[in-house]
Amino acid sequence: MNIAVTTSDEKPSPSHVPRRMKSHWWRGIVSISTAVLVALLTVSGSGASAAGRTPGAAPPTQDPQLALMKAEAAASKNAYKNLFGGKKPSCAAMAGEWIKDDAGDAQLLTSREVSARDVPISAEDAGGAVMTNLKGETVPTPRHCEVSGYIAPQVAFELRMPDPQAWNGRFMLVACAGFCGSVSSSGCNPGLSRGYAVVTTNGGHAGSPGFEATWAQGDNAARHDFAYRANHVATLLSKEIVNSYYGKPADYSYVAGCSKGGNSAVRYASRYPADFDGILASAPVLDYQRRLSTSFSWQAQAIEKNGKAVLSPADLTVLHGYILNQCDRLDGRADGVLNDPDACKPDFAAMACKPSKASQKCFSNVQINALRKLYALPSDSRGRVIYSAAQTPGSELNATPWLTEMPGVPGTPLVEHGANQWLRYMAYSRQSDGYNKSALNFTFDHDPADMEAMAKVYNSTATDLRRFEKLGGKLLITHGTADEGIGLAATVDYYKQLVTASGGLATTQSFARLFQVPGMAHCSGGAGYDRFDALSALESWVERGTPPKEIVARRSSPHAANEAIPLYPYPLVPKYRGTGDPADPASYRAVTSASWR
């Protein structure tokens, strides 16, 4: 790949994106939106409660993103039409193409033909594209045209298009995960191996991997690009390149992603309902604002005492053993996996060290108090829940370094580091409001309300998906029951709200289905069944009208390669019948999840 900035912490130089500092329509819209958001905060007492509002002042009634969305829709209505002078370009001819467009000026920096080859699919690639059946496999990819470029101001993208005879007629966006910051080219490989034309982006900025948000310092446009715009404009441009290159548009379009990528994928159903026919999201962090600020801070405060984390990786192993001992057989089988973690109510008192019995496999009072808080829903001093998920029982083996000290950063678990970065650079519409905030001084009575304006920018919690449903779109969500990063309960809570908003379970399942994946960690991995083909299930639903009633998931090594379990549409979960081969999906029956009762 020939994009110089994808691994750098610096912004791209002007030579990478000609005239990138010119005044774009996009910067104007973001400025307008920012003013609306600041005004909203001012009206509501700069983040204070509604009770502190100026007497007689009317409460804000309009979504501050509405004006932005309308302007964006108008500007992109005819985005990137008539590329290449209306001619069908060769792969080589696309390099250096400069595109001036109201949706965001763009430049195609490089284009090259890549020979057919076999490529390995890593766990990260598989999880990001929600095609975990390919994890650890080496798959053939066809000869293809690889195009890289930018959309102003800093949206880097890479598009891979199979030779016409190898193209399956489909298009896919693979949405970036984490805080994005670079173009993960290998994330295109799972879709490319199946004949898709695939694009992915850097999320609208250059940054380091992981929870690093310094790229957002003083750059509100970059925050909006990260939240939603980068993927959208890259999709608009890529679809038109595909149309020009093949001489026809894609028959079907899909978006896939995990974590932040899952957030982006689900957002399309409400914000851009016509962009994709099928949406495939794994472990989507839907309430992005509160998970990164409120929930991370809750966990950091729970596990830190006198500047040190009170739990070690060894402690998490002991804890996992206790929880399995208490809950593993609730799904009919002791296999080290909780099929339905909401049914597990850990008894922490049974894990406490007792004076009469000296044991290394127990927890001190300080640790027990930390565990009680970790597995409780974040709430304020009045007991009002402010985030819908706690630590998930059964996820303990995957929780290093989320809940333990990070290597090289003593006393700083990943949840604390992530919250600190988010609060300082991302959480507030007026960025300076977060400069003195940290995970450890976060206040649950007041701080969440102060961040509501930016929640409207980042979150994918909208439940009015009527336009997406009317257009025939299908949404398939998967989430591991041992996810240590994004609690399964948050996704379940969203789906239950969607059921209510959509008029009932039957109506909702006609266009949106959720599958709990026993034992899968965040996006991929874990001790459970993380190898399954959700993409084929979605294709069949979108293209043939066959909704997925069951998806077979297999266990990864070191477990038996033939060990499998059925995944059912929520609220159903698998339970072992008590007889038959436990490695055979036929030995399980569907039961209602405890979270639905």
Torsion, Cα 120 524 273 290, to 10 degrees, reads -140
Q: Could you give the 3-state DSSP secondary structure of residue 321? A: helix
pLDDT along the chain (597 residues), means of 10: 28 33 42 39 32 35 56 73 91 95 94 96 83 89 97 97 98 96 94 97 92 94 95 97 97 97 96 95 97 97 91 95 97 96 97 74 95 98 96 96 81 91 95 94 95 94 96 98 97 98 98 97 93 96 98 81 91 97 96 95
Check the CA dihedral 536-541-545-551 and report its sign. positive
DSSP 569: B
Q: Residue 545: what residue type?
A: G
Residue pointed to by tokens 């640790």:
367
Q: Residue 253: what residue type?
A: S
Residues 317-339 as b/e (b if ≥16 CB within 10 A, e otherwise) read ebbbbbbbebbbebbbbebbbbb
Report in angstroms the alpha-carbon separations of 322 from 53, 332, 341, 374: 49, 18, 14, 15
In this structure, the number of other CB atoms found within 10 A of the CB of residue 7 comes to 14
Residue pointed to by tokens 């309960």:
489
Q: What is d(CA 201, CA 306) in angstroms, rounded to the nearest whole number?
A: 41
The residues spanned by each domain of the chain are 66-286, 291-456
Residue pointed to by tokens 């006198």:
306
Residues 209-219 as b/e (b if ≥16 CB within 10 A, e otherwise) read eebbbebbeeb
| Residues facing residue 279 across a β-bridge | 255, 475
Per residue, the 3-state secondary structure of 360-425, as one string, reads CCCECHHHHHHHHHHCCCCECCCCCECCCCCCCCCCHHHCCCCCCCECCECCCCHHHHHHHHHHHH
Q: What is the pLDDT of residue 47?
A: 32
Report in angstroms the alpha-carbon separations of 385 from 122, 290, 353, 368, 555: 38, 12, 30, 21, 35
Q: Residue 562: what residue type?
A: N
| Residues facing residue 475 across a β-bridge | 279, 512
Q: What is the pLDDT of residue 8?
A: 31
Contact present, 413 and 405 (Cβ < 8 Å): yes
Q: Could you give the 3-state DSSP secondary structure of residue 188? A: helix
| Residues facing residue 565 across a β-bridge | 553
Contact present, 59 and 50 (Cβ < 8 Å): yes
DSSP string across 208-236: -SSS--GGGTT-HHHHHIIIIIHHHHHHH
The pTM of the full predicted model, rounded to 2 decimals, is 0.89
Both tokens assigned to 298: 């809750």
User: Between β-strands 106-114 and 144-151, what pairing exists: parallel, antiparallel or unpaired?
Assistant: antiparallel
CA atoms lying within 13 Å on the CB side of residue 584: 7
Q: What is the pLDDT of residue 218?
A: 92
Nearest to 297 by CA among 378, 375, 214: 378
Q: What is d(CA 460, CA 284) in angstroms, rounded to the nearest whole number?
A: 9
Q: Could you give the 3-state DSSP secondary structure of residue 350? A: helix
